[in-house]
Amino acid sequence: MSVVIVDDRDPRIQYSPSTGWYQGGVFQEYLNTTMAATEIGTGSDHTATFSFQGTSVAVYGTVNQGRSTMSFSLDRGVPSVFDAATSTAGTVHHKLFFASGTLPDGQHTLVMTQTSGPIIFMFLDY
């Protein structure tokens, strides 16, 4: 089994709406890139969808001080919510947002939706 790292800018990740995401990044992040939703609670979900072949998936990102939440729905299952509340005084890079555990080998789809909080507090990285 091999580990494949998929960067937030990989074309296999579909961002919707395409104009609703901010491209950021600093040197501490994987390939110096991240993506963040630009609006929340506008009646239009801001989602990132990743379809993949494999037995597991994990999502890492960057969180700033503050509170935001993001939901993760794997294969149209019940969403799991990541609460990025942090008491740190600064930014945390390479934070685990979601891990699937072991899945049956096959095609899977993960839908990520930022559901609350100030924008630009949660960044998808890899």
Q: Tens digits of per-residue pLDDT, 67-118?
A: 788 899 999 999 999 988 765 667 889 999 999 999 999 999 999 998 876 6
Helix (H, G, I), strand (E, B) or coil at 31: helix
Angle (CA) 46-103-109 rounded to 5° is: 25
Residue 98, beta-bridge partner list: 59
Q: Write down the pTM of the prediction.
A: 0.91
For the chain, the domains span: 13-124
**CA gap 86, 118 in Å, rounded:** 13
**CA gap 40, 93 in Å, rounded:** 22
CATH code of the domain made up of 13-124: 2.60.120.260
* 17 upstream amide cis, omega within 30 of 0: yes
Q: Tens digits of per-residue pLDDT, 39-68?
A: 766 556 789 999 999 999 999 999 887 778
